[in-house]
Amino acid sequence: MLKIFLASHGHLASGMKSSLEILMGPTHNLTVFDAYTQGNDESVSNKLDQFYKEVKPDDTVLLCSDLYGGSVNNEMYRYLDRPNTKLVAGINLAFLLEVLNESADRLTDDRLKEIIANSRKFLMRVDCVPSSNGSSVNNLTEDFF
């Protein structure tokens, strides 16, 4: 089974889970942790230790962080020696939507690279293009779904 652990500075992780569940429904294989939030003095490593207690030897673990080189990512980096564990930093909602639709056996290193490349396409400046009648149209060429 694919198990995903998403952690962020502040409430980004839980906010992304909320958005994902609006778009996809329940995300049972996604665990989130909002680090450094008011009233939460639990560390990323303590939360990861709890998470790994539920990981079985044949599970694939994908650790996701908000910012490469940040303190959350640096804590997660220490878990890369665990079996079947991968780490991706700088994730976005497009990345999570795609990865949550993968099975553990399909999430190879090559497939993960492909998902990362696909998710980068959704980071762009969106321009307002005036139409011939004076109203504005967007520059989107296709829907995500």
Question: Would you kindly state where each structural domain of the chain is located, as residue ranges?
Answer: 2-138
Look at the domain 2-138 and name its fold: Rossmann fold (3.40.50)
Residue 84: phi, psi to the nearest 5? Answer: 55, 35
Where does the chain have alpha helices with state H? 12-24, 44-52, 71-77, 93-99, 109-120
| Predicted model pTM | 0.87
Question: CA dist 68 to 32, 48, 118, Å?
Answer: 17, 18, 18
- Per-residue model confidence (pLDDT) at position 141: 58
Which pLDDT tens digits describe the chain residue by residue (145 residues)?
Answer: 999 999 999 999 999 999 999 999 999 999 999 999 987 778 999 999 999 999 999 999 999 999 999 999 999 999 999 999 999 999 999 999 999 999 999 999 999 999 999 999 999 998 888 777 766 656 555 555 5
Q: What is the pLDDT of residue 137?
A: 59
Pairing of strands 85-89, 60-65: parallel
